[in-house]
Amino acid sequence: MLNAKVEKAINDQINAELYSSYLYVAMSNHCSQINLPGAAHWMRMQAVEELTHVSKFSDYINDRQGTVTLGAIDAPPSSWDSPIAIFEESYNHEVMVSGMINALVDVAMSVSDHATVNFLQWFVGEQVEEEASVDEIVQKLKLVGQADGGIFMIDRELAGRALTLPPGTLGA
């Protein structure tokens, strides 16, 4: 049985992950509008990845005889000043999500819910990867500055992103 405090915290995280997906859809749309199809693809894959997190959290609550409770999702921004601004916001968002995952681990530890602490370790590692992935793109964008050729080369690289789904999520 899932502790009520832990259940609420995971439900809050589900809503945060849904917002993350929504944010990445908005970023993808903006990248399409400014003719960066590779960045749009990268953001679209990120949106789908966030939904896999929702699936993992939802399955966990259900496996522990809890109740998934969905809440309202705030509207994300719809435009950014530059490609680097989009990816910097993405990086800052992932840092924030990492903090939320860490706080979720703290909640589980505070009630000695070792099963949930164990479950959350996947997300702790995932957030390290998320931050590093976006930071690499930010650093490349900083290197090329506003050189159009450099931005388009990075955009072409971003178009190659493939999505690897975790086992047991969305058909994986």
Q: What is the CATH number of the domain that holds 66?
A: 1.20.1260.10
* pLDDT surpasses 80 at 76: yes
Count of structural domains within the chain: 1
Mean pLDDT, the chain, as a whole number?
A: 94
Percentage of the chain exceeding pLDDT 70:
95
Q: Let me know if residue 146 belongs to a domain.
A: yes
Q: Give one DSSP letter per residue of the chain, joined into a string.
A: ---HHHHHHHHHHHHHHHHHHHHHHHHHHHHHHTT-HHHHHHHHHHHHHHHHHHHHHHHHHHHTT--------PPPP---SSHHHHHHHHHHHHHHHHHHHHHHHHHHHHTT-HHHHHHHHHHHHHHHHHHHHHHHHHHHHHHHTT-HHHHHHHHHHHTT----PPTTSTT-
Does 19 have pLDDT greater than 60?
yes
Residue 168 in domain: no
Res 65: pLDDT: 96
Q: Is the pLDDT of residue 170 over 60?
A: no
For residue 133, what are the domain limits? 4-158
> What is the value of pTM for the model shown?
0.92
pLDDT top residue among 148 and 24:
24
